[in-house]
Amino acid sequence: MLRGRGRLPLPISTPKPQDATQKVADALALAIHEHRLPPRTKLGEDEIGEIYNVSRTVVRAALQSLAHVQLVEIQRNKGAFVASPTPREAREVFEARSLLEPHTARSAASRATPRDIEILKDHIAQEHLALDARDNGRALNLSGRFHIELARISDQDTIGQFIETLIARSSLVIALYCRRENALCESHAHHALVQSIADGDE
């Protein structure tokens, strides 16, 4: 299911179990965000362990961490699967984002440094490169990361954690219910937002 389809990054070196767990979790999360592992995909512990040259204990811990942020569902006697939000959950995810993201954008406008603006502009440039390459999965992930970066700039850790979880869930929702190209934020909207933040508009 996972091997031979270009879905997962290359194996990793793992000097410490804790580091290995995080690296496996990060690699799986990226593949889910970029839709290389779509909702309902079975995540076999043995196969993942073989790909990354880690023990089942490490894989299990990585899957548990992804279940904690609702990217993975662990079903008793069946194993782990990429999560599959319901239509109701999908609506709730985007309603929550519509409430939180304008607040973080206003807060970011009052706190952003010149370096923050540079980071946001570089982020948009990377998003454009992905779109030009027709890599919609990567572009979608970068679009979500843009909003996570805004939350970082706003310096509101609790809200930022909520937004990061919502962005992750959004990727699953889009994979299930939307066409990816229609789900991407329009590039000029991100440009306008960065310009507004650079101008200090609240």
For CATH 1.10.10.10, list the domain ranges present in the chain: 17-82
- Strand order across the 72-75 sheet: 42-43, 79-82, 72-75
Neighbours of 167 (CB within 10 A): 21
- Walk along the chain (202 residues) and give the pLDDT tens digit of each residue: 565 444 565 454 444 556 899 999 999 999 999 999 999 999 999 999 999 999 999 999 999 999 998 999 999 999 999 999 999 999 999 999 999 999 999 999 999 999 999 999 998 899 889 888 888 888 888 888 899 999 999 998 899 889 989 998 998 998 888 765 555 555 567 777 888 888 766 5
Distances (CA, A) of 19 to 3, 107, 156, 163, 170: 23, 33, 27, 25, 27
- What is the per-residue pLDDT for 153? 93
Q: Could you tell me which CATH class the domain 87-198 is placed in?
A: mainly alpha
- What is the per-residue pLDDT for 190? 75
- What is the per-residue pLDDT for 141? 87
Q: Report the run of H or E that residue 75 belongs to, with start and end.
A: strand 72-75
Assigned CATH topology for domain 17-82: Arc Repressor Mutant, subunit A (1.10.10)
Do 151 and 105 touch, CB atoms closer than 8 A? Answer: no
What DSSP state is assigned to residue 42?
E
CA distance 181 to 44: 30
- What is the per-residue pLDDT for 14? 43
For CATH 1.20.120.530, list the domain ranges present in the chain: 87-198
Rounded to the nearest 5 percent, the helix, strand and coil shares of the chain are 70, 5, 25
